[in-house]
Amino acid sequence: MRRHRKVKIVATLGPASSDHATIKALFEAGADVFRLNMSHGTHAEQKARYDIIRQIEVETGRPIAVLADLQGPKLRVGVFADGAHELKEGDSFRVDLDDAQGSAARVQLPHPEIFAALEPGATLLVNDGKIRLRVETCGPDFADCTVTVGGTISNRKGVNVPDVILPLAALSEKDRGDLEFACELGVEWLALSFVQRAEDVIEARNLAKGRAAILSKIEKPAAVRSFAEILKVSDGIMVARGDLGVELPVHSVPPIQKRLVRACRSAAKPVIVATQMLESMIDSPMPTRAEVSDVATAIYEGADAVMLSAESAAGSWPVEAVQTMDSVARSVESDPTYREVIESSRSVSRETVADAIVGAAREVAETTDVVAICAFTQSGTTVSLTARERPRVPIIAMCSEETTLRRLCLTWGAHCVRTPELERFKQAVVNAAKAAREFGFANETQNIIVVAGVPFKTSGTTNILRVAPCDERLIYRTDPE
Q: Which region holds residue 366: left if phi is over 0, alpha if psi is between -120 and 50, else beta? A: alpha
**Dihedral, 21, 23, 24, 28 alpha carbons, nearest 10:** 130
DSSP 403-465: HHHHHGGGSTTEEEEE----SSHHHHHHHHHHHHHHTTS--TT-EEEEEEESSTT-TT-EEEE
Q: Is 411 a catalytic residue?
A: no
Quick one: which H or E segment has residue 301? none
SS3 343: helix
Q: Which of 12, 123, 275, 381 is catalytic?
A: 275
CA angle 175-31-191, nearest 5°?
A: 20
CA distance 285 to 278: 10
Quick one: which H or E segment has residue 88? none
From the CB of residue 229, how many other CB atoms can be counted at a distance below 10 Å?
14
CA distance 265 to 75: 33
**Which of 47, 37, 42, 40 is closest to 11 using CA atoms?**
37
Q: Is 76 a catalytic residue?
A: yes
SS3 295: helix
Q: Is 462 a catalytic residue?
A: no
Q: Which of 6, 94, 217, 269 is catalytic?
A: 217
Q: Is 275 a catalytic residue?
A: yes
Q: Which of 35, 49, 106, 390 is catalytic?
A: 35
Q: What are the residue numbers of the active site?
A: 35, 76, 217, 275
